[in-house]
Structure 1
Amino acid sequence: MKKHPIRILALALMLSGGVSSATLAQRPQQQAQSQQKQDPVIQNIIKMATENSQLEQLGHELMDGVGPRLVGTPQMKEAADWAVNKYKGWGIDARIENYGEWRGWERGITHIDMVHPRVQSLEGMQLAWSPSTSSKGVTAEVITMPDFADSLAFQRWLPSVKGKIVMISMNQPSGRPEYNWKEFATEESFEKMKKVRDEQNEAYRKRIAATGKTARTLPVALENAGAAGIVMSNWSQGFGVNKIFSAYTKKIPTVDLSLEDYGMLYRLAENGSKPRIKVVAESKHSKKPVPTFNTIAEIKGSEKPDEYVILSAHFDSWDGATGATDNGTGTILMMEVMRILKQVYPNPKRTILVGHWGSEEQGLNGSRAFVEDHPEIVKNTQAVLNQDNGTGRVANISGQGFLHAYDYMGRWLNAVPREITKDIQTSYPGFPGGGGSDHASFIPHDVPAFMLSSLSWSYGNYTWHTNRDTYDKIVFDDVRSNVILTAILAYMASEEPELVPRERSVMPVNPRTGEQMSWPQARPATRKGGLD
């Protein structure tokens, strides 16, 4: 572990009796407070972010107006056009950069009704890129999958799915999330529930494994056997939340049902009631692939225009809801930072560029393509500031394995108001990110790229890729705090006299293998997506 020079100085001074440790601890904070009071740019950033915020309006226009931004959909292009027009209205140059093509698709009306043994409308939706039904829909009996001894037994059963709608998810034993059980149940009841749940999970895992298929190939096998549709329920361990991802079928609809309605149908089918449902899942498929792209805006540098500070947030989303916290909040955060900097710091030393990346959800494709297509920018990038994981105020910043990150990131953070940074945990040099979000596209090229990691706000259960990721889940006070943080960091990075060092830290030994870990390697962008 590298020794920190400030700590060495502190020890020497304390031993000599020259200064107390408390005085040393106070000095950086006092200097930072002095800089905040004296620097008009920092003062104006704080003033504009708090007194003239446009976050609520930007969030409304993007999430409520445009809606979800699934790659290959018209809404993704509509969002890009909206952002470019916003930037131009603020006097900021902006453009759309195509880097490939994707399967074109547009969500239509989904309506799912149980029509036997009684009539009830069900809560659910078609998955992304699901094949369409006609406007009349598909009506058929719903069946579950039995236990199979092996894949041969599965093959013998397959003909029985013809004309049926097949349920392929496990029926959850309880629709109450674990925290709710923990709060109200007796200890004995709680432990019993967990035991039942774990046993059912394991039994269903074995049931699927016995088919010889995976989550990706099972729906295709059922489709090829003549099934009329696929029903699943990808519960997200919270009240009313399901993960909404993509369909793997090519001709028959794949829909996701709420835990509650899925459980009801499952029990009816298992108990011999032969439930029937009607599925209307209209969608539009483009005959030709559509362009996939990044949306770029920049404020040109006045002294070093060929050096860059990059603001980073992916623009695309899954489309179970409107992509508010993944990553609408990151998007409007970076847009607001650019708007404010254009007003209070119109002639930055270095070019400040914002990348609203496309197709992050399918593998960081937009940022990877940008890195591949712009080596001249990458080699002269001062820092990348990326935000992606929800609406919460930033709580963690890692040095991402860069040996000297503690020095320059520490200085930049000292310029941020203490009420914003006091709860931010930093780890230096940290460990380089190999994936997860777009900062990881830059790290293999030795670009100091930092994830501004947020407080949870139950992100993993309630909004990440779910049907409930909507405008009302945004905590605007936290996003405003992040605007101030990010704008000041961008300003400080731009004003830094020279490009910061990019020296890597020595990677640790993997305790499992006994071998030294390696720095992440660059991965190519997918430039033709969903076309197979």
Structure 2
Amino acid sequence: MRKPVSLLVASFFLCSVAVIAQTKEKMVEAMVKEATENSHLESLAHELLDQIGPRLIGTPQMNQAHDWAVSKFQSWGIDAHNEQYGQWKGWERGITHIDMVSPRVVSLEGRQLAWSPATPKKGVQAEVIVLPEVANAAEFAKWLPTVKGKIVLISMHQPSGRPEYNWKEFATEESLAKMKEDKDAATKAWEKRIENTGYNSRTLPEVLENNGAVAIFQSYWSQGFGVNKVFSARTKKVPTIDISLEDYGMLYRLAESGSKPQIKLTAESKHTGMSPAFNTIAEIKGTEKPEEYIILSAHFDSWDGGTGATDNGTGTIVMMEAARILKKLYPNPKRTIIVGLWGGEEQGLNGSRAYVKDHPEVVNNMQALFNQDNGTGRVVNINGQGFLHSYEFITRWLQAVPVDIRKHIETTFPGIPGTGGSDFASFVAAGAPGFSLSSLNWSYGNYTWHTNRDTYDKIIFDDVRNNAILTAILTYMASEDPETFPRDRAVLPISPRTGEQIKWPEPRDANRTGEY
């Protein structure tokens, strides 16, 4: 009688496993179908990027984006709210006009840097001059009075406006080598020019404005056609303007040749005092293990040279779309699913660092966090972040992902914990299993990361759609997993750079006051 009972138990177990497998397979199929046939990605991107625009912390657009996200989550039946973690200096961008009026008339391409002061209401008209070559700080101090009433160029003149990849494609070997030599020499010469003033690139703008300059012009070329990096101003009284490589080079050459170019500049903006800084938090409550958490993570803020499309509009809409799919198809997850759209990432992971400190009950009971940040490409790498058992869990969760998405992803286990770069690192530093869904490059560093060209048209929606599917499935699998992710840490290797054992990162406090 014992043999038939054993066979019955075994048969029942195999049937249960088969039913579970079929259920997961159907859920995955439904998620892929929903993401493919009813995608909200394009409309989310249009509303966020075209209608609201860039999301510089402390601006009205950042606050508008937070409110928009809460409203969007609620329209899908997902509880959401904005959670203040601190404040930041408020600023609102206005219209900028930059026109050369002599020796000829032409409108120039450029923009105020973030938190730049404005010109007077009627604008200014002034001659452009170049930072001089001086032998030492004393000689520079003698020159400084000449900046009164002038616009000063403080960036190097680029020998070529063609990216190096363009030179490699078309130039002779001799011409390419000469270009590199010229560029290296020009870079060293400019660094020496700055050094001899007795100041550096951070302190020089304030010295110039204090001596009467009416504006500072810079050009932070991103090594790509038509692309400049756009960050924040260092001036407190006069505007700092980033000028395109092409127009900056023209002004530089005219000034150097004695043509005395004249600029008419109007830069409208206003400082609005301290502004509250928020994270947007959405939640789908768990049913069986509601006190265990899975977090879908992306930073919501951006710089404002473009509209923050790939840094990090794409990560934002991936997490929002994944949450929408999960709520529609998996409304009663076993574990609680949280979406964290973090503020202040660009100023030092401030939103996520604040959340880690303010919500130990979440961090200490986190099953996993999935973060996407670095651009529009499909996910191609997942690092175990130094967690000893990451291979077992990540591999198991990935098995449910369709092959045409999974085949592109390389994994590294146990990996090395991230120390910064994006918000997953805030959680890893606290010992919580946060994972970066690292994406394909798509010329991110040169063309869209913190640039004036980071706009809607750079999004590759096929890749972003795959990322939303991947995130939804990983979240579903992590929620359904009967095991809780263990936090054992691997022994980290010796650093080839220092020769010492790599140390686990320590948690850092958020900047909640709005001051660098």
Q: TM-score, normalised by structure 1?
A: 0.92
- Select 1:274's aligned residue among 247, 250, 260: 260
- Select 1:490's aligned residue among 455, 469, 475: 475
- Select 2:382's aligned residue among 397, 413, 431: 397
Q: Work out whether residues 36 and 415 of structure 1, in 8 Å CA contact, stay in contact via their aligned partners in 2.
A: no
Q: Work out whether residues 386 and 489 of structure 2, in 8 Å CA contact, stay in contact via their aligned partners in 1.
A: yes
- Select 1:56's aligned residue among 22, 42, 46: 42
* Partner-residue secondary structure (3-state), 2:54: coil
1:209 shift after superposition: 1.4
Q: Partner of 1:243 in structure 2?
A: 229
Q: Work out whether residues 301 and 347 of structure 1, in 8 Å CA contact, stay in contact via their aligned partners in 2.
A: yes
- Select 1:510's aligned residue among 487, 495, 507: 495
Q: Partner of 1:471 in structure 2?
A: 456
Paired amino acid for 2:360: P
Q: Partner of 1:161 in structure 2?
A: 147
Q: Work out whether residues 360 and 366 of structure 1, in 8 Å CA contact, stay in contact via their aligned partners in 2.
A: yes
The size of the alignment, in residue pairs, is 499
The C-alpha deviation readout for 1:300-324, integer Å capped at 9, x for no partner, is 0011111100000000000001000
Are 1:298 and 2:283 an aligned pair? yes
- Select 2:316's aligned residue among 322, 331, 341: 331
Alpha-carbon separation, structure 2, partners of 1:201 and 1:300: 55
Are 1:348 and 2:333 an aligned pair? yes
Are 1:320 and 2:305 an aligned pair? yes
* Partner-residue secondary structure (3-state), 2:346: coil
Q: Partner of 1:133 in structure 2?
A: 119
The percentage of aligned residue pairs carrying the same residue is 69
1:512 shift after superposition: 3.8
Q: Work out whether residues 111 and 241 of structure 2, in 8 Å CA contact, stay in contact via their aligned partners in 1.
A: yes
1:40 shift after superposition: 2.3
Q: Partner of 1:262 in structure 2?
A: 248
Please list every run of 5 or more consecutive structure 1 residues that lacks an aligned counterpart in the other structure.
Answer: 1-30
Q: Partner of 1:103 in structure 2?
A: 89
1:114 shift after superposition: 0.4
Structure 1 residues 36 and 187: CA distance shift in structure 2, 3 A: farther
- Select 1:439's aligned residue among 408, 419, 424: 424
Moved more, 153-162 or 418-427: 153-162
* Partner-residue secondary structure (3-state), 2:99: strand
Alpha-carbon separation, structure 1, partners of 2:411 and 2:492: 18
The C-alpha deviation readout for 1:369-425, integer Å capped at 9, x for no partner, is 000100111000111100000000001110011111000000001110111011211
Alpha-carbon separation, structure 1, partners of 2:357 and 2:186: 46
Q: Work out whether residues 37 and 43 of structure 1, in 8 Å CA contact, stay in contact via their aligned partners in 2.
A: no
Q: Partner of 1:409 in structure 2?
A: 394
The C-alpha deviation readout for 1:324-368, integer Å capped at 9, x for no partner, is 000000000100000000000000000000000001000000000
Paired amino acid for 2:456: Y
Q: Partner of 2:4 in structure 1?
A: none
Q: Work out whether residues 25 and 400 of structure 2, in 8 Å CA contact, stay in contact via their aligned partners in 1.
A: no
1:210 shift after superposition: 1.5
Are 1:204 and 2:165 an aligned pair? no
Paired amino acid for 1:73: T
The C-alpha deviation readout for 1:60-113, integer Å capped at 9, x for no partner, is 000000000000000000001111000110000000000111111011001100
* Partner-residue secondary structure (3-state), 2:278: strand
Are 1:121 and 2:107 an aligned pair? yes
Q: Partner of 2:365 in structure 1?
A: 380
1:510 shift after superposition: 2.4
* Partner-residue secondary structure (3-state), 1:355: strand
Query: How do 1:443-462 and structure 2 match up within 5 A?
Result: 443-462=428-447
Alpha-carbon separation, structure 1, partners of 2:115 and 2:240: 9
1:513 shift after superposition: 3.3
1:38 shift after superposition: 5.5
CA RMSD of superposed structures (Å): 1.4
Alpha-carbon separation, structure 2, partners of 1:91 and 1:510: 48
1:36 shift after superposition: 7.1
Which aligned runs of 4 or more in structure 1 are off by greater than 6 angstroms?
Answer: none
